[in-house]
Amino acid sequence: MFFHGELVLVILALTLDGQVHTGKIIGGHEAVPHSRPYMVLLERHIQDGKIKYCGGFLLNEDFVMTAAHCQARSYKVLLGVHDLSDKNGVQTIPVEQTFPRKDYNETNYKNDIMLLKLSSKAKFSDKVRPIALAGPGDGLQPKSCLVSGWGRTDENITYMSFKLMEVNVTLINNPHCALDNMYCSEGRIGPNHGDSGGPLVCEDGKAYGVVSNIFKPASGGPQINSYAKIPDYRSWVDLTMTYV
């Protein structure tokens, strides 16, 4: 995940090197194994030959959603993962096509959302299931939501977590976020490096957002965690998945 000040004050690394270490999402706890069967670990192959990671989530047999800033040369998705040291039941599927939003802005992370079409169909099981997406008809902004991922456990380390972690966040009203089609939470509790692209799941069990970036307001105050607002992109999502 990127960390930056208002309009990119400071930018750190997008994701991590291919190292893992036991830990937890910032301020969170280990998820019950396979209680989030929609979660995807996205293996990103970068131009220099390195492998880095983002999160993602399964929409149906053919498509995964993640963040547009997780673009890479090629990808594999890992489904059915909880503990990275346990490969039992894990499905590894290459990505056939990528569909980042064409209006994604890499400076302010507006429209930070991307669809990935799998090269073969995901096989549903008790460990692999899709998640429903929120749409414009789902009402007002939710308040209590959850994010999960295998990202860094602390800002001062360079390792991912072996196990899937999760944390509850409370969404806030923020003018900057509203203008950029984002939901936001504030404070250091929440997603960290390596959690980008994972889902923001709210009270009704639907995915409302995509973990995007963290910024610090120019006026001061706590850091803001932002999530691409899925209801604003539902028409694009539905059309893309229907006509590809």
144 is catalytic: no
112 is catalytic: yes
d(CA 139, CA 215): 27
CA trace torsion 202, 204, 206, 211 (10° rounding)? 0
Query: Which long-range contacts link 99-102 to residues 24+ away (Cβ below 8 Å)?
Result: 99/240, 99/244, 100/68, 100/71, 101/68, 101/233, 101/236
Q: Catalytic residue, from 161, 196, 212, 226: name it.
A: 196
Distance CA 86, CA 59 (A): 24
The residue annotated as part of the active site, out of 62, 112, 180, 195, is: 112
- DSSP class of residue 222? S
Q: Which entry of 62, 69, 148, 185 is annotated as an active-site residue?
A: 69
Q: Are 229 and 174 in contact (CB under 8 A)?
A: no
Tokens of 196: 């980008």
**Active site annotation includes 196:** yes
In whole angstroms, what is the distance from residue 195 CA to residue 39 CA?
Answer: 11
Task: List active site positions.
Answer: 69, 112, 196
